[in-house]
Chains A and B, each alone.
Chain A
């Protein structure tokens, strides 16, 4: 039997992490664990020890930002195909474009509605 997918939320804002967890809890998706990291480095540490099916990451973070995390994941044979959804407040297209070119699976702009995020994650996880 297929294991329910584990998700990793990466954001330096505890408030945003809480919102994302609540949104995920409101989906009808069968999820495994939802893990949290405060930056890209913490995320990599978690990924080393756990099987994660999808990463939902902020772009602007201390230590290692979302772009650098994505770059590291895409350069790794282990995580090359791991779905990564980036969350951004960036207004300019340049950073979003950079993320897409690096292989971001999708992105969500803050502020986002719960419905918008739920639909996006449901579509990705049902693949």
Chain B
């Protein structure tokens, strides 16, 4: 199956909806996706997971620290006001489930894929670039109390 950005975006959003509805107790909707990938440094959370198999690349979640705390509060059913290890773990697990849900959908078309463990970065003035992706997808999703940005950078395996 050719890697089509529109199809990848649909699968990523479906996986996001599934997680928000079942484990975060809220609906999520797409906000107009940015036409050009912004490269401005940001403050907050970057959580990413790599893929390998016939398709290689990675999936990312970007959000503010406040949104990370809110998502973690919903996910862990406890109140979080500041980013700590529990919040980073929760955001990593949320990323794992969303990107894992996308991977499961993609596997139906390209065969077995494997994922790395999540890496979660919390900081200021963060810049991130996806190199050598054949397909880049950026989705901006909003829910009751915040927004998250989801990104995919995918390429056919070079092997």
Contacts and interface: CB of A to CB of B under 8 A. Distances in A.
Interface stretch (A1-9, A28-36, A44-52, A86-94): A86-94
A89 B92 contact: no
Contact of B22 (A15, A89, A113): A113
Interface size class of A (residues with CB under 8 A): 10 to 19
B78 A111 contact: no
A89 B104 contact: yes
A97 interface: no
Contacts of B107: 91-92
A13 interface: yes
Contact of B100 (A14, A18, A110): A110
Nearest to B99: A89
Contact of A112 (B22, B86, B100, B112): B22
Interface in B75-115: 75-78, 86, 89-90, 92-93, 96-97, 100-101, 103-105, 107-108, 112
A15 B90 contact: yes
A6 to B, nearest CB: 22
A22 interface: yes
Contacts of A111: 18-19, 22-23, 97, 101
A116 B22 CA distance: 9
Given A18-B76, A91-B104, A111-B101, A13 B22 contact: no
For chain B, what secondary structure do more than half of its interface residues adopt (helix, strand, loop), or is it mixed? helix
B103 A91 contact: yes
Contacts, number: 54
Given A92-B107, A111-B22, A113-B22, A19 B97 contact: no
A34 B104 CA distance: 31
B86 A89 contact: no
Contacts of A16: 93
Nearest to B89: A15
Contact of B23 (A89, A92, A113): A113
A89 B90 CA distance: 16
Given A15-B75, A15-B76, A112-B22, A89 B97 contact: yes
A89 B105 CA distance: 11
21 contacts: A13-B96, A14-B89, A15-B86, A15-B90, A15-B93, A19-B75, A19-B76, A22-B76, A22-B78, A89-B96, A89-B100, A89-B104, A91-B101, A91-B105, A92-B107, A92-B112, A110-B100, A111-B22, A111-B97, A113-B22, A116-B22
Interface of A: 13-16, 18-19, 22, 89-92, 110-114, 116
